[in-house]
Structure 1
Amino acid sequence: MSLPPVLRDLLTAPGPSGREGIAAGVWRGHAEKFATLERDTFGSTVARVAGTSTEDGTSAGTSEGGVPSLAVVGHIDEIGLIVTHIDDKGYLRIAAVGGQDPQQLVGQRVKLITKNGLVPGVIGKKPIHLIEADERSRAAKLKELTIDIGATDKDDALQAVRIGDVAVVDAEPLELRGGRVASRSMDNRIGSFVAYEVARLVAEQGGAPGEVQAWAVAREETGLHGAATTAHRVRPDIAVVVDVTFASDQPGVDTNEIGEHPLGSGPVVELGTPLHPWVGDRLIETAEAEGIPYTISATGRGTGTDADAINIAADGIPTGVIGVPLRYMHSVVETAQVEDILNAAKLIAAFAQGLTSDVDLLR
């Protein structure tokens, strides 16, 4: 199963937290073909597909006795790097944007987002011939790494880059055997793609009973901020957050800790303390009714996703979480199964079609 073109477009667009503009623009360019778009000053986008249960095409909401509106949420940002200093020789010193493992960065090509466009660079390291024996077993630290853009000195570097510019690893998606794909930024272009795809499927079906909103929210990797501000402003009746989760078939992981969610096992329905039980139960019922494979994960505290911000926004928004199994999270070779991604979208679209005006979310 090949990589969907829209997802490929999203995976190749740079957009670290706080500088999501290029990736968000790609997402909007596809979503505007079938939905009404709203942008905000935070960098988040909401794409609305009108419901069919009221005359004006909107949802009356549960408080008014109508079919509840549904927000499908994926974050558009990715982890990255930010330039903190430019030394006299023109090397760029960097800090992390989000959770970076420095071991993943050594030897990588990068692209910097600057006011004049994208600038290529590399993260090099002293040749092994020159590394002392006691250094070879020591893990690299981020503060020791630099980006080389080919500048001859600091003044030359400043012609192309300034302090505060951000960068991402420059790695194209790679299609593997068995319908699997490796790429940077799977976390969480997968989620923003699923949100887009749910809205597209619903629009293709002529709408769902209630309004369906696809959210591509900013700054999840640095604090769930875009989800919090969007939820405060939009206040949907129900939210389903889509993010990646740890695949259990990667070497070295403990299934006693994370459960069993191998690639190809379908979307993961999360149940637990911060999540609304009706939403989780209905997602499971829908998967079984539609013949969509799924697994279940559980949490007794937070989910580590935008759901942690959305479920306590406003007066409390009933929230569920769908995970897509992912190997090698927060690396340049994050690997997922395309079928799992598409099944997550099919599941949530069917969930949207099944919402009715008699849904009781009170607890």
Structure 2
Amino acid sequence: MKQKDFKFLKELVETPSPSGFEQPAQRLIKTQLQGVANDLKTDVMGNLIARLDGLGEKKIMLAGHCDEIGFMVQYVDEQGFIYFGAIGGVDPHLSPGQRIKIHTAQGDVSGVVGKKAIHLIEPKDRDTVIKLKQQFIDIGCASREEVEALVQIGDPVTFAVGVQSLQNNRATSRAFDDKMGAFIITEVMKRVKLSGEIASDLYTVSTVQEEIGLRGAVTSSYDVNPDVGIVVEVTHATDYPDVEPSAIGRVELGKGPVLARGANINPMLFKLLVDTAAAEKIPVQIIGLPRAAGNDTNVMQLSRGGVATALLGIPLRYMHTPVETLSLSDLDQAISLLVAVVQRINAGTSFIPE
């Protein structure tokens, strides 16, 4: 990955955007697409919809959600400890002992999720998960009044970690799910713009509130009304200990993006993706999806009279943790594949199953 692209990815992933609080990330994406897209708009939900005009033969929508899991301030006790709830699917195993940031109107406030020392825990209780409602944040204040001068009820919270490079072109961070998807579709629009005229109009949508119910994809898919929709998401890697490949499929970091097959996926669009990957010599991995996807693909397919949808996944280890890990080469391959597919779709491309 080029240094400037990695810099954008890093900045996007590290910009806080829990579900319902996505605008800092959306503003960053918007700066990347100004001068590229023919039109940029933010809808009432907070989705950022960019349009690149082609010849208008079809409408293609690429979607990646920019919201991340996190927490929300809900209560402050008299001693100045902050109790919180989860935004999205947070594992309560992970939060005790973590550093966090509370994102307030005045700026970030640092804190920690408190954890009783192991010396003070009864041996029989040491393997017990502390319920999220019993966990608390310590920002160093000694009273409720001190806290309330800095923090408001409803302020979002994220883990205080960012992108770090690992060996073999891999990287780790919180929130690769799914800001790397928003990154990919943004890069695709840039490269399609540079490639010259295309037959179809291209829409890239950085969707919101996926982690709490696919909400932004519902409204943006209805608004755009695409003929073709491809969702870029993370998918579970199965190449690390204690994960059973037989339950998901063989999914490995660095072996290329993942294409899903199943009822949620239009078979003609799936074939176009596979054929394009072969023609462009782009490695891909394939998994079976025997049920509706638990991501934006689900609702996009059912928008209005139906949309020809596909799901392109990036293998990810340790999903919904502060140490999500992926291969940067898989992102590069996904961008190349999507650019090539967008260039191939025209008025004569049929997505009616045969």
TM-score, with normalisation over the residues of structure 1?
A: 0.94
- In 1, Cα distance between equivalents of 2:124 and 2:59: 60
Given the alignment of the two structures, is residue 31 of structure 1 paired with residue 62 of structure 2, yes or no? no
Secondary structure class of the residue paired with 1:103? coil
- Give the match for residue 50 of structure 2: 47
- Conserved in 2, the CA contact under 8 Å of 1:71 and 1:240? yes
Q: Does 1:81 align with 2:71?
A: yes
1:362, CA displacement in angstroms? 2.7
Q: Which residue of 2 aligns with 1:17?
A: 19
The correspondence of residues 134-153 of structure 1 with structure 2, limited to 5 A, is: 134-153=124-143
How does 1:108-147 map onto structure 2 within 5 Å?
Answer: 108-147=98-137
* Aligned residue runs from structure 1 range 324-335, under 5 A: 324-335=314-325
Distance in 2 of aligned mates of 1:118 and 1:198: 32
| Structure 2: gaps (5+ residues) | none
Which residue is 2:247 aligned to? Answer: 257
| AA partner of residue 209 (structure 1) | A
Q: CA deviation at 1:140?
A: 2.1
CA distance in 1, matches of 2:35, 2:320: 31
CA distance in 2, matches of 1:6, 1:77: 16
Q: Which of 337, 340, 363 is matched with 2:330 structurally?
A: 340
**Is contact 1:32–1:47 with CA below 8 Å preserved after alignment?**
no
- Give the distance between the partners of 1:262 and 1:361, measured in 2 at CA: 29
**Partner amino acid, structure 2, of 1:316:** G
SS at match of 2:330: helix
Task: Give the partner amino acid of 1:362.
Answer: I
Normalised TM-score (structure 2):
0.96
Structure 1 residue runs of 4 or more that deviate by more than 2 Å after TM superposition:
none
Q: In structure 2, give the amino acid aligned to 1:332.
A: P
Amino acid paired to 2:350:
D
- Distance in 2 between the 1:29 and 1:151 partners? 37
Aligned positions of 1:1-363 closer than 5 A: 4-35=6-37, 36-51=39-54, 53=55, 59=56, 67-363=57-353
Answer yes or no: is the 8 Å Cα contact 1:175–1:181 preserved in 2.
yes
Amino acid of the structure 1 residue aligned with 2:343: Q
Post-superposition shift, 1:208? 2.2
In structure 1, give the amino acid aligned to 2:91.
Answer: D
**Residue segments in structure 1 that go unaligned for 5+ positions in a row:** 54-58, 60-66
Instruction: Verify the 8 A CA contact 1:74 1:189 in the aligned structure 2.
Output: yes
Amino acid at match of 2:138: D
Q: How big is each residue's C-alpha offset from its partner over 1:309-359, in whole Å with a ceiling of 9 and x where there is no partner?
A: 100011111110000000000000000000001111110110000112111
Shift of 1:207: 3.8
CA contact (8 A) 1:10 1:26 kept: yes
Using the alignment, how far apart are the partners of 1:96 and 1:214 within structure 2? 29
Does the Cα contact within 8 Å between 1:49 and 1:207 map onto a contact in 2? no
Contact 1:218 1:227 in 2 (8 A): yes
State the one-letter code of the partner of 2:19: S
CA distance in 1, matches of 2:181, 2:310: 13
Q: Give the CA deviation at 1:193.
A: 0.6
CA contact (8 A) 1:245 1:324 kept: yes
Task: Give the equivalent residue in structure 2 for 1:62.
Answer: none
**Native 8 Å contact 2:268 2:352 kept in 1:** no
Q: Distance in 2 between matches of 1:251 and 1:197?
A: 33
The alignment-based identity, stated in percent, is: 36
Partners of 1:159 and 1:98 in 2: CA distance: 27
Distance 2:158 2:151 in 1: 14
What is the alpha-carbon distance in structure 1 between the residues aligned to residue 230 and residue 195 of structure 2? 20
Q: 2:95–2:113: 8 Å Cα contact kept in structure 1?
A: yes
> What secondary structure does 1:4 align onto?
helix
Letter in 2 for 1:220: E
Deviation at 1:203, TM superposition (A): 0.8
Cα deviation for residue 33 of structure 1 reads 3.5
- Give per-residue Cα distances to partners, 1:264-304, cap 9 Å, x unaligned: 11000111011111111100111000000001111121111
- How far apart are 1:170 and its partner, in Å? 0.9
CA offsets per residue over residues 185-242 of structure 1, 9 Å max, x none? 0000111011101111101112422111111000000000000000111111100000
